[in-house]
Structure 1
Amino acid sequence: MAGSERCGPGCEARRAAAWAVSESEPESEPEPLGPRAAAAAATGSRSAEGPAGRPRRRRVPGEAAARRRERERRKEQQALEKRRRREEAAAWRLLRPERCLRLMEVCADPGLLKDPGSDAWVKILSSLDCKYSFEPQAIPCSITWRRNMPNTLSSPDGPMVKTEEEKEVLVLVEPEDFLKRLFSLTQSFVNAPSASQPDLNQVLPLAGLEGSSTKTYSLAVVGLDAYRRRNQEQGRQQALSPGKQRPSSQPGPELSMTQEEILEALVVLQLWGNMEVLFLDTWQEFGQHVSALTKAIAKRPYKRQLESQELPFCAAGAWASGVRVEKDGTGLWQVWKRQIQQFNRVSPATAAAIAEAYPSPSLLLQAYQECSTEDEKRLLLSDIPVKSDISGKDRRVGPDLSRRIYLFMVSTDPDLVLDLST
């Protein structure tokens, strides 16, 4: 048949064998995927599950923004805390003794300049490393103090300097006026009942002053002894010449006060009014007192800060003569040597020699217990050799130090004096 493929019996046999072979062979495996395709397929299969097969938590709208804001807020807080610590450290540096005087301002009443000898104390005041000004005060002839602290923690629009009024007030009283006030005070508590409080306003009127209860007042009297001697001489001269006309300014009864009466009145001022009175001979001494008082007031915040710290004398570090002790006991020998070195006239070489002979206090106490007599205990350490790097000669601890260490280790008397040479 034309156009058709003719096949004989052999062709049919070959076709049947081909089909038999194809049915016996296994099906071909699928072509393996590449790394990226496999990762994409694995991600797609786990898209509905989280770690460990748990379902993935759906994110709330705006959660990422909230977390970002929280991180920014924490960063701002940390930055503010660092800034606060830097500013506190800067303020602490300003309060140190070598800088604190620059923050002080001495405010003196212009009445202190009336006396011709006031130039002496003004000269001392100008030599201080602080500001001073003359402005009217609530109490005439008085001195107050101000502290001008940089206000570093304030806002940029706030004041750059914060002024603090100190509680000390120094009042200068003339000798004549002081004796009159003191005489009035003595008369008031002599005539008043014993249970009543004396009227201290006769010495320094403070009833009408605002904030007087929070202030600490002290009085300064310049030239009281010279004033009393001068008036006593004038009184004797007038007694020797009775026919001579006396001056119009007759001395008052306050000049008749004895030294005991003055001291008694000063005790009343100290106990009832917490008011101290300072007697000075010259304006030079007055200036020196103002200078010393200014320095003491300036150093007060620094000393208060030191006192508020917990155990500042036990701080670790070489600068504080401290020894670091590890958990395994490393450093205890150094501590024991430093303790021995705290005795008077004990060199590091002597302390090291004793610490090498008895490496701990318990071993030294055990050695004392093994001694039979009291003298043997006191002289236990006296023969320990001490090597000296300066002279090159060996010496010994000696009986005096041996006795002191023994008494220190065994005595229970807190008031016992160890060093007899002091």
Structure 2
Amino acid sequence: MAGSERCGPGCQARRAAAWAVSESEPEPEPLGPGAAAAATGSPSGEGPAGRPRRRRVPGEAAARRRERERRKEQEALEKRRRREEAAAAWRLLRLMEVCADPGLLKDPGSDAWVKILSSLDCKYSFEPQAIPCSITWRRNMPNTLSSPDGPMVKTEEEKEVLVLVEPEDFLKRLFSLTQSFVNAPSASQPDLNQVLPLAGLAGSSTKTYSLAVVGLDAYRRCNQEQGRQQALSPGKQRPSSQPGPELSMTQEEILEALVVLQLWGNMEVLFLDTWQEFGQQVSALTKAIAKRPYKRQLESQELPFCAAGAWASGVRVEKDGTGLWQVWKRQIQQFNRVSPATAAAIAEAYPSPSLLLQAYQECSTGDEKRLLLSDIPVKSDISGKDRRVGPDLSHHIYLFMVSTDPDLVLDLGT
């Protein structure tokens, strides 16, 4: 008889079971040594380490996924709302207005700075100011950013005031200041009203004044030349328009008077050669004042130097600890002259600060602690040659990890 006819009922059952396996179903992979031991040694209902297995509730993974998506949508909506509020406030804050005194238009060369002023993206007007020949700034400020009807607007005047002083008038006022300071050296504070009369102005204590002098060097050279010519012709009388003893002030005396103005009166003096430079100075001040609320808003945010996002090199840390290794590597990279490859090599050898501290505790001598990281190899992507961390960086990281002195300088070579 054939082989198939000699098979018993058990053989036919095994053949039917083998034939019932579909060719589309993969065969089970052989278990590894660890898996086989776990499968044979672990009792029913326990994991590989002998811990009880947690039963998964049906639909739990889908619920978690929906919760994560809901949170992401809420965060996206919140970020969008904040961006819209900031953009609305920024549009209002950009509505700067430069208010200039009409006396600034008397000079024939004033057309140069007015041309620069008209090129700015802001309003400007010429109206009488409290101080003649001065410039002030004002803007539209929002009262609130979250009102239902939109941000309410109010006009506020900035604290900066730029005053244009003629060279002759400036030298006279500066000479009077130096004489009063010399004649009364025991006075606690010089009389700054001789330079800029502010005693009768309301709110002058809250303002920041800057003086601009156009053409001072040319004025001094011209008058000194006139003085030399008059000395050669003693019969001629000095013209009434020529300044007197203030021209005898040396450059050192002028600088000393400027220091007094800056320290006692918080006044900055700008020496400009042309009206073109005056216009550029007005333009720079206008842009700086316009950006001030935006910078103030950035500084008020929590940790503004560690902004989120890939563009700011931020690292996202998940609840399960994912991303902490990247944070540790970035922290090492903040040391001076530390490349990303060096930081990665140290972070791979000691994946967390606690492990590095534990390694320091296991060292027996101080030299061993300072040189613990010096022999860690670093792979260079440029040269392809391996190098070491080195003793200097190893010493700096050791001091950073164990020192309790807040004023300690880690890198003496900088």
Q: What's the TM-score, normalizing by structure 2?
A: 0.69
C-alpha contact 2:134 2:163 (8 A) present in aligned 1: yes
Offset of residue 163 of structure 1: 2.2
Q: 1:24 to 1:284 in 2, by over 3 A?
A: closer
**Deviations 1:378-414 (CA, angstroms, capped at 9, x unpaired):** 4432332334556655444344433432343344554
- Residues matched between the structures, number: 413
**Of 90, 95, 102, the match for 1:103:** 95
Offset of residue 143 of structure 1: 0.8
C-alpha contact 2:38 2:48 (8 A) present in aligned 1: no
Offset of residue 33 of structure 1: 65
Offset of residue 171 of structure 1: 0.3
SS of 1:4 mapped into structure 2:
helix
SS of 2:262 mapped into structure 1:
helix
Q: 1:54 to 1:391 in 2, by over 3 A?
A: closer
Q: 1:331 to 1:239 in 2, by over 3 A?
A: same
C-alpha contact 2:116 2:279 (8 A) present in aligned 1: yes
Offset of residue 103 of structure 1: 1.8
C-alpha distance in 2 between matches for 1:13 and 1:290: 99
Q: 1:54 to 1:331 in 2, by over 3 A?
A: closer
Offset of residue 18 of structure 1: 76
Offset of residue 147 of structure 1: 1.0
Q: What's the TM-score, normalizing by structure 1?
A: 0.68
State the match for 2:11 in structure 1. Answer: 11
**Deviations 1:200-224 (CA, angstroms, capped at 9, x unpaired):** 3222222333332322211111122
C-alpha distance in 1 between matches for 2:394 and 2:5: 133
C-alpha contact 2:97 2:137 (8 A) present in aligned 1: yes
Offset of residue 341 of structure 1: 1.8
C-alpha contact 1:87 1:153 (8 A) present in aligned 2: no
Offset of residue 274 of structure 1: 2.3
Q: 1:103 to 1:420 in 2, by over 3 A?
A: same
**Deviations 1:264-286 (CA, angstroms, capped at 9, x unpaired):** 33333333332222222232322
Q: CA RMSD in A?
A: 17.7
State the match for 1:138 in structure 2. Answer: 130
Q: 1:227 to 1:31 in 2, by over 3 A?
A: closer
**Deviations 1:278-310 (CA, angstroms, capped at 9, x unpaired):** 222232322222222112111111122222223
C-alpha distance in 2 between matches for 1:75 and 1:369: 43
C-alpha distance in 1 between matches for 2:17 and 2:393: 120
SS of 1:415 mapped into structure 2:
coil
Larger CA deviation: 234-243 vs 339-348: 339-348
Q: 1:51 to 1:330 in 2, by over 3 A?
A: closer
Offset of residue 46 of structure 1: 55
C-alpha contact 1:154 1:160 (8 A) present in aligned 2: no
SS of 1:48 mapped into structure 2:
coil
C-alpha distance in 2 between matches for 1:208 and 1:354: 67
C-alpha contact 2:210 2:267 (8 A) present in aligned 1: yes
State the match for 2:108 in structure 1. Answer: 116
Larger CA deviation: 42-51 vs 105-114: 42-51
Tell me whether 1:56 sits opposite 2:53 in the alignment: yes
Q: 1:39 to 1:129 in 2, by over 3 A?
A: same
SS of 2:159 mapped into structure 1:
strand
Offset of residue 139 of structure 1: 1.5
C-alpha distance in 2 between matches for 1:212 and 1:275: 12
C-alpha contact 1:84 1:153 (8 A) present in aligned 2: no
C-alpha contact 1:223 1:282 (8 A) present in aligned 2: yes
C-alpha distance in 1 between matches for 2:24 and 2:371: 112
Larger CA deviation: 83-92 vs 206-215: 83-92
**Deviations 1:1-37 (CA, angstroms, capped at 9, x unpaired):** 99999999999999999999999999xx9999999x9
Which structure 1 segments of 5+ residues have no match?
96-101
Larger CA deviation: 371-380 vs 256-265: 371-380
C-alpha distance in 2 between matches for 1:395 and 1:247: 79
C-alpha distance in 2 between matches for 1:328 and 1:23: 41
Offset of residue 131 of structure 1: 2.3
C-alpha distance in 1 between matches for 2:381 and 2:2: 132
**Of 90, 93, 114, the match for 1:92:** 90
C-alpha contact 2:317 2:323 (8 A) present in aligned 1: yes
C-alpha contact 1:171 1:220 (8 A) present in aligned 2: yes
C-alpha contact 2:145 2:151 (8 A) present in aligned 1: no
**Deviations 1:132-175 (CA, angstroms, capped at 9, x unpaired):** 22222222111111113467879999998532211111000001
Q: 1:147 to 1:233 in 2, by over 3 A?
A: same
Offset of residue 324 of structure 1: 4.2
Offset of residue 124 of structure 1: 2.8
SS of 1:395 mapped into structure 2:
strand
C-alpha distance in 2 between matches for 1:121 and 1:11: 107
Tell me whether 1:282 sits opposite 2:280 in the alignment: no
**Deviations 1:116-137 (CA, angstroms, capped at 9, x unpaired):** 3323323332332222222222
Q: 1:350 to 1:76 in 2, by over 3 A?
A: closer
State the match for 1:273 in structure 2. Answer: 265
C-alpha distance in 2 between matches for 1:328 and 1:17: 46
C-alpha contact 1:50 1:56 (8 A) present in aligned 2: yes
C-alpha distance in 2 between matches for 1:83 and 1:335: 27
Q: 1:87 to 1:242 in 2, by over 3 A?
A: same
Offset of residue 178 of structure 1: 0.8
C-alpha distance in 2 between matches for 1:148 and 1:296: 16
C-alpha distance in 2 between matches for 1:357 and 1:23: 48
Task: Give the fraction of aligned pairs with identical amino acids, expressed as a percent.
Answer: 97
**Higher normalized contact order (CA 8 Å, seq sep 6+, divided by chain length):** 1
C-alpha distance in 2 between matches for 1:418 and 1:158: 51
SS of 1:51 mapped into structure 2:
coil
SS of 1:313 mapped into structure 2:
coil
Offset of residue 237 of structure 1: 1.5
Q: 1:134 to 1:42 in 2, by over 3 A?
A: same
C-alpha contact 1:337 1:351 (8 A) present in aligned 2: yes
State the match for 1:77 in structure 2. Answer: 74
Larger CA deviation: 397-406 vs 357-366: 397-406
Which structure 2 segments of 5+ residues have no match?
none
